[in-house]
Amino acid sequence: MADGRMMAPPSGESLLFLTDEHLRQAIEAMFFAYRGFTADPDRILADMAYGRAHHRAIHFINRAPGTTVNNLLNILGVTKQSLNRVLRTLIADGLVQSRVGRNDKRERHLFLTDEGRALEQKLSDAQRARMRMAFRTAGPEAVAGFRTVLEAMMDPEMRESFDRLRDSAP
C-alpha cells in the first residue's frame, strides 16, 4: 500500500534510499515546489508589464545596492542583452537608478528607487510568506536538511555567488 512509500528513508549511514525511484520523486518534488515558489510573485507581476526576469533583477539589486551590471550578469547567469532589456524598462519606469561609477566611469552602479524598493517589498513579502509557512510546517530539522541539500545541488560557481551574498549579509 501507499504507506510503504511514505516512510522516511532509513537514517544513519545507509545509502539504500538512493534508488532511482526515490530520486525521481525528488526530481518531481523539486519541479512542483519551484512552481509554488514562484507562483505568488508571478501573480503580482502579471498585473504589471513585468515578469520573472524583472523580479530577479530587483531582488539582487536590493540585495546588493550599488552592484554593477557585470556583477548582476554573473549572478543571474544571463546575457547582457537579455538583462539590459529588463534594466532599461526598470530604469525607464523609475524603479531602478543607474549611476555612473566614480572610480571607473564605464561601470554603472544600480540602486532601487523608493518605488523600486516598494515593489521589491511586495514581491519578497509574498515569497517569504510562503517560505515561512513551509518552514513552520516542516520544522527546524527539516529546514536545516533542506538548505544542506540545496547547497549541494548548486554548480560550484553558483555556490560561490550564493556564499558571497550570504557572507555579505547585513
Partner DNA sequence: AGTTTAAGTCAGCGTTGTTGACATTCCAAG
Partner DNA sequence: CTTGGAATGTCAACAACGCTGACTTAAACT
Binders of DNA in range 86-125 (CB under 7 A): 86-88, 98, 100, 103-108
Task: Identify which of residues 84 and 148 has a Cβ nearer to its own copies in the complex.
Answer: 148
18 binds, among its own copies, DNA, none (CB under 5 to 8 A by kind): its own copies
Contacting DNA within 30-59 (CB under 7 A): 49-54, 56
CB neighbour list of residue 127: distance below 8 Å, 6 or more residues apart? 37, 40, 41
Tell me the longest C-alpha to C-alpha distance in the chain: 67
Task: Identify which of residues 37 and 135 has a Cβ nearer to DNA in the complex.
Answer: 37
User: Which cell is 94 given?
Assistant: 523609475
Please give the Cα distance from 81 to 56 (Å, whole number). 15
90 binds, among DNA, its own copies, none (CB under 5 to 8 A by kind): none
Residue type, 131: M
The answer to whether residue 80 forms part of the interface with DNA (CB under 7 A) is yes
Task: Identify which of residues 20 and 47 has a Cβ nearer to its own copies in the complex.
Answer: 20
Backbone φ and ψ of 109, nearest 5°? -100, 130
123 binds, among its own copies, DNA, none (CB under 5 to 8 A by kind): none
Q: How far is the CB of 14 from DNA (least distance, A)?
A: 37
70, 72, 77, 80: CA torsion to nearest 10: -50
Q: Enumerate binding residues for DNA (CB under 7 A).
A: 49-54, 56, 68-70, 73, 76-88, 98, 100, 103-108
